[in-house]
Every structure is written in structure tokens, then in C-alpha cells.
Amino acid sequence: MYEKSSALFRQALQYIPGGVNSPVRAFGRVGGTPLFIRSAQGARLLDEDGNSYIDFVNSWGPMILGHAFPPVVEAIRKQALLSSSYGAPTGLEIRMARQILKMVPHMQQVRMVNSGTEACMSAIRLARGYTGRSMIVKFEGCYHGHADALLVQGGSGMATLDIQTVPGVTLGVARDTLTAPYNDLDAVEKLVSAHPGQIAALIVEPVAGNMGCVLPKPGFLEGLRAICDREGILLILDEVMTGFRLARGGAQELFGIRADLVTFGKIIGAGLPVGAFAGPREIMQHLAPEGKVYQAGTLSGNPIAMAAGIALLEALDQNPAVYHELEQKGSWLATGLKASFRDQGLAVQVNQIGSMLSVFFNPRPVGDFRSASDSDPGLFRSFFHGMLKKGVYLPPSPFESWFICSALTREDLEKTLAAAKQIAY
């Protein structure tokens, strides 16, 4: 069934560390051989062996309107004929900036970068430069990319591979990163009290997606905003996953929360390598060349990525009803999964908000990294491979969120539920 993927993986192991270029792709948490994908269309993936799958990874979020979305394909085609990169400004960058700022509340300027990692790293540097402080606060199990300071108590692939500390991240760097459990305001208050006037920024996933989908408790984000206002700390919302996915204006719109800085990832390039960070002009003007906080990138604002992202964001902006549609699909699927597990006598948590959801084989609610880690890895492994055999492609880790795209049909969702009901644990 997976002969070509297995052969390709053996070849990849000779030339690429671990056979993959991003750790979670290696199927390390679930076992087996990673699939090598040939193509994708709408809500379907096709692997090198010709197997078709209903896709709930969606390139880890950006394919919100489905793979090979025609306006995006056409935008890429047109720009590719004009060259893939110039190393000079283009009008596309202005169009993209205008589109982002039109959709996202409270922001006045935006800087394009090349990935979510770079966006978060740069936002932290800007916060330190703006405040003159050195420390940051992050939350256990939240992943903000692989910059050194942000790998402390990280989620995503680190959680998948059970990496507690990262060789190469120096003690000095780690010392400036303070961590608290997600959804725990008291822990944040204690950190702030212990380090008065030293914390530049607090960075948080407004809905965690890197320890599985974990929702903020009522009052949590509002509490963080209040602490930051009181202490002169910048609140950075990492919307690499939630931006333009949970709502037109992201989590700021959905929860009514004002960020000081917000970061975005590959959704603004329709899946191409791109990221951005945005904020009020008062803060953003500290970036070079206007200010002295240095950040640069030859490929920042790449014209193909900009053209693709403009096509996607304009489509979302012009059809806000898509978010209601995605919420309905997510809610319907989550309700069906809960009933299916209940019928099988399994104690399972299904966390869902909008087009993000996760399944935790855990009898207790999951609201932070510790409770997510208490889930049964063996049951998840059986679930993952059972679904794969039935033609449903899920994230190969219990610490990653599922993503729903608008191209998923009712038939796709019904097939997904039917597959979940047939798995033997």
C-alpha cells in the first residue's frame, strides 16, 4: 500500500537527517513510514503510491480554501512568468500590506518576512528594542518557531519527539525566557512579580495549536491584556495558525483582544514560505531603516508569495460567510467524533473551535500542556493508523491541531466519521 513512499523514505534517510526536512513529518510519534505526497486538489491528497486521502493537515493550516485554489494558482502562474524574485521593492508588497491591515484590527504597519519562525523572532527583538527590557514570557507547550529563545518548553515537534531541552540553546538565552502553564493567570502574576520592570513581552498562541488544539479559558486572554497594560509589557499574539483562519481578523476579532504585536505565517502566502508581523506605527517605526532594531531578508516580500497571498486573502475578505461555514463543519465533525468514541466506550476529549480541532485520548479535559501530555499515546497511534488505512490523513502527532478547509464536503465528513467508527483499538 505504501511501497513507493517506503522506498523514497529509505533514499531520503541517506541524504536528509532523519529522512525529513521538518521533524514531525517523520511519523516518530505514531510509527510507520511517512507518506510522500505527489499532489493535492481541494480537500484531497494523493501519495506516490496513488492512494487518495481526505486531508486534515492542509499544510498545517494555510490551505483554508483547499489545495490548488484556482485564483491562487493563476496568481502564481502570472507572477512566475515575470520572475520569481527581484531583491527590490514591488507594488505587490504594498497591496499585501494594505490587505492585511484592512482585515486585522488595531494594526497600522506590517513587515513581511519568510516564515512564522522569523515573524515571532523579529517581533520579540522589536519588543526588546522598544521597551529596553530583555526578558520574555511564553507558555509551556506553545511553539513560536525554532529561534533559540522560543524553544524553551516548546510544543509542536519538540513535544512530539519528547525533547525537553535543546542542545545548542545556551543557558544565557534560556535564562531570559520565562515560562508559565497555558491558561494559568496566577503563574503569570508570580513571574511578573518576581521580575519587576524586566519583561519586554509576553507571547502567546491565542488558541494553542502546538500541543493539540487547546482553547483559552474565559478571561485568560483578557487577563493577559490587563497584566501587560499594568506592567508596560507588550502582548504578542502568535497568530501563525489562528490568523485569517478563525475569523477574518483572526483571534483579535474573535475574542475582542487588542495585541501590541501580532505574527502571521504561511497563510498569507497561501502556503508558500512567508510570514509577517504587524503593530501600531509607534512600535513598528523602531524597525530599521526608520529605527535601529535591525531585521532584514533578501526574500522578504517575495513577489510570488505576495501574489499568492493576495489572491487568498482577497477571497477570504470578499466571502466572510466562509468562516460560518467552517465553524459549522468543525462543530458537526467534533460532535460526531464525540458520539462515535462514546459509543465505543472510550473516554476521549475533542477540543474544537472554528476550523481547528484535536482528539485527546484522555478522560479529563485538556486545557494546558500537562493535561495534553497525559493523553494515551498508544490509543492515538491506533487511531492515526486506522484512519490512514481508511483514507483519512491526520496530523501524525497528538500534539498538533487538525485543520478543516472549505473544500471538505459533507460526504468527506461523513466518510471521516464512518472511518472513526470502524477502528479497532
Q: What is the pLDDT along the chain (425 residues), one digit of tens a residue?
A: 899 999 999 999 999 999 999 988 989 889 999 999 999 999 999 999 999 999 999 999 999 999 999 999 999 999 999 999 999 999 999 999 999 999 999 999 999 999 999 999 999 999 999 999 999 999 999 999 887 777 776 544 444 444 455 566 667 677 889 999 999 999 999 999 999 999 999 999 999 999 999 999 999 999 999 999 999 999 999 999 999 999 999 999 999 999 999 999 999 999 999 999 999 999 999 999 999 999 999 999 999 999 999 999 999 999 999 999 999 999 999 999 999 999 999 999 999 999 999 999 999 999 999 999 999 999 999 999 999 999 999 999 999 999 999 999 999 999 999 999 999 87
Residue 295 burial (10 A CB sphere; 0-12, 13-18, 19+): middle
Q: How far apart are CA 124 and CA 121, in angstroms?
A: 5
Where exactly are the structural domains of the chain? 3-68+321-421, 70-318
Q: How far apart are CA 110 and CA 127, in angstroms?
A: 14
Q: How far apart are CA 259 and CA 202, in angstroms?
A: 10
Where does 3-68+321-421 sit in CATH, by number?
3.90.1150.10
Considering the candidates 47, 55, 238, 376, report the single residue annotated as catalytic.
238
pLDDT of residue 157: 47
- The four Cα atoms 296, 297, 303, 309 give a dihedral, to 10 degrees, of -80
Let me know: does 314 contact 175? Beta carbons within 8 Å. no
pLDDT of residue 169: 64
What cell was used for 256? 475582542
Q: Does 294 qualify as catalytic in the annotation?
A: no
Q: How far apart are CA 375 and CA 400, in angstroms?
A: 13
Q: Does 184 qualify as catalytic in the annotation?
A: no
pLDDT of residue 425: 79
Q: Does 421 qualify as catalytic in the annotation?
A: no
What cell was used for 273? 514560505
Q: b vs e for 212-233, b when ≥16 Cβ sit within 10 Å of the residue's Cβ?
A: bbbbbeeebbebbbebbeebeb
Question: Fold for domain 70-318?
Answer: Aspartate Aminotransferase; domain 2 (3.40.640)
pLDDT of residue 326: 98
Let me know: does 16 contact 24? Beta carbons within 8 Å. no
Considering the candidates 138, 260, 266, 393, report the single residue annotated as catalytic.
266
In this structure, how many other beta carbons lie within 10 angstroms of the beta carbon of residue 46?
16
Considering the candidates 130, 143, 323, 393, report the single residue annotated as catalytic.
143
Let me know: does 401 contact 212? Beta carbons within 8 Å. yes
pLDDT of residue 71: 98
What cell was used for 320? 466572510
